[in-house]
């Protein structure tokens, strides 16, 4: 584990579910967590709940699909802290398709674009804007929350995953490609970049039948966000299990 003192983390989509639990578990390691949320009311409520537990957490206005908010968030972090140690790109969404059906022949172009705007384009823009601050960290960590549904190796096997919501899966496959490319670009630095599959989690997206709680699902991202200097980079994990791209 890296030294906890004075570490700053930003978690996107942090007002509920996986994002909230990821922020909570990071804050429990004496890390100041910035809760990136679209809704100010929900973000401040999440901040209040974590502070009741004695945890260091602060709401920050951030819709990853809005460039002006991305720029403002980066400027705020630069002014207040001068660096960023951990970025967890957790914000994600699915539009216009049933996550438990194959939507390849029916998903609309509009749904594809909206899904990619949140899950991929917003994630890339935010990471690029924050990268100069992460480069100032002694041990920068970037975690891209992906999904096993992104794995082309698994999907292409006969009798593999039956869930094939095309827009969502394709956006997460693109996220994995970004992970690989960014890790290569940062090779030889003290920054590690990895993708996390949280598992099937009981969230608004995962539904009530999912076997994992948000607390359990957050563990993979938290582990990757706090890797030591000998930890992996450019990999895809669920827990400590490396997954195929």
Cα within 13 Å of Cα(159), Cβ side: 0
Per CATH, the architecture of 8-93+116-148+176-242 is what? Answer: 3-Layer(aba) Sandwich (3.40)
- Kindly state the tokens that stand for 239: 């827990």
Q: Check residue 201 and give its pLDDT.
A: 61
Q: Which residues carry out catalysis?
A: 168
Please say if the pLDDT value at position 104 is more than 90. no
Please say if the pLDDT value at position 4 is more than 50. no
pLDDT digits (tens, 9 = 90+) for 22-49: 999 999 999 999 999 999 999 999 999 9
Counting residues of the chain whose pLDDT is more than 70, the rounded percentage is 92
Radius of gyration in angstroms for the set of CA atoms belonging to the chain, rounded to a whole number: 17
Q: What are the boundaries of each domain within the chain?
A: 8-93+116-148+176-242
Q: CA–CA separation, 11 vs 22, rounded Å?
A: 7
Residue pointed to by tokens 């090779």: 187
Q: Check residue 199 and give its pLDDT.
A: 73
Average confidence (pLDDT) over 82-105: 91
pLDDT digits (tens, 9 = 90+) for 57-72: 999 999 999 999 999 9
Please say if the pLDDT value at position 131 is more than 70. yes
pLDDT digits (tens, 9 = 90+) for 177-231: 999 999 999 999 999 999 999 976 666 666 667 667 877 989 999 999 999 999 9
């Amino acid at each position: 584990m890296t030294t906890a003192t004075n570490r700053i983390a930003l978690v996107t989509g942090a007002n509920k579910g996986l994002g909230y639990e990821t922020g909570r578990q990071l804050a429990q390691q004496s890390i100041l967590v910035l809760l990136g949320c679209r809704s100010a009311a929900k973000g401040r409520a999440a901040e209040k709940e974590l502070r009741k537990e004695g945890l260091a957490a602060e709401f920050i206005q951030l819709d990853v699909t809005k460039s002006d908010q991305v720029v403002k968030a980066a400027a705020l972090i630069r002014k207040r802290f001068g660096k960023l140690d951990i970025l967890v790109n957790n914000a994600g969404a699915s539009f216009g398709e049933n996550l438990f059906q194959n939507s390849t022949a029916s998903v609309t172009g509009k749904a594809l674009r909206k899904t990619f705007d949140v899950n991929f384009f917003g994630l890339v823009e935010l990471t690029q804007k924050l990268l100069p601050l992460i480069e100032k960290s002694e041990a920068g960590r970037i975690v891209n929350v992906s999904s096993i549904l992104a794995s082309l190796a698994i999907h292409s096997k006969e009798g593999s995953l039956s869930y094939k919501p095309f827009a969502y899966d394709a956006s997460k496959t693109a996220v994995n490609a970004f992970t690989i490319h960014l890790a290569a670009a940062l090779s030889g630095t003290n920054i590690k970049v990895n993708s996390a599959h949280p598992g099937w989690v009981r969230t608004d997206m995962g539904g009530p039948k999912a076997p994992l709680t948000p607390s359990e699902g957050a563990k993979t991202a938290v582990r990757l966000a706090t890797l030591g200097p000998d930890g992996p980079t450019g990999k895809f994990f669920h827990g400590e299990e490396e997954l195929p791209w």
